[in-house]
């Protein structure tokens, strides 16, 4: 079934106890999201959309992993294309890898669907981030 997707329709703005995992999607390359939302969800709990794969369609998930690298004091990883729900990041894990000796670094900001990691000194670094 090419371009088939799952649509989550809001009834009273609540979604609870939904798992969409380990599925394979195939599409025609039209840019269709594998999971779509119809309406607004104000109450989201125990929803996991993860470990799916797609060919010719856009992946959507509630768990995402990202990577960036650069030389500076801040690194931003954007998850806007992957995360299904906007502005709903609840948990962040990150690791910063550098050849510099023990720099201070911290999670700077989580806004929209992006994560900012900051350090006290400029340095070359690789930053890996996982969000849900």
What residue spans define the domains of the chain?
A: 6-55, 64-131
Under 8 Å CB-to-CB from 17, ≥6 apart: which residues? 45, 46, 47
Are 49 and 76 contacting, i.e. CB atoms less than 8 angstroms apart? no
- pLDDT tens figures, 40-79: 999 999 999 999 999 999 999 999 999 999 999 999 999 9
What pLDDT is recorded for position 102?
84
pTM: 0.88
pLDDT at 114: 97
């Amino acid at each position: 079934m090419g371009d088939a997707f799952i649509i989550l329709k809001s009834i009273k703005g609540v979604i609870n106890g939904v798992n969409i995992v380990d599925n394979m999607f195939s599409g025609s390359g039209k840019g269709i999201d594998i999971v779509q939302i119809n309406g607004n969800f104000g109450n989201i709990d125990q929803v996991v959309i993860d470990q799916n794969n797609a060919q010719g369609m856009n992946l959507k998930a509630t768990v995402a992993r990202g990577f960036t690298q650069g030389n500076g004091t801040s690194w931003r990883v954007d998850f806007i294309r992957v995360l299904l729900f906007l502005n709903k990041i609840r948990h962040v894990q990150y690791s910063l890898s550098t050849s510099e000796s023990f720099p201070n670094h911290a999670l700077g900001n989580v806004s929209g669907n992006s994560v900012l990691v900051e350090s006290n000194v400029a340095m070359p670094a690789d930053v890996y981030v996982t969000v849900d």
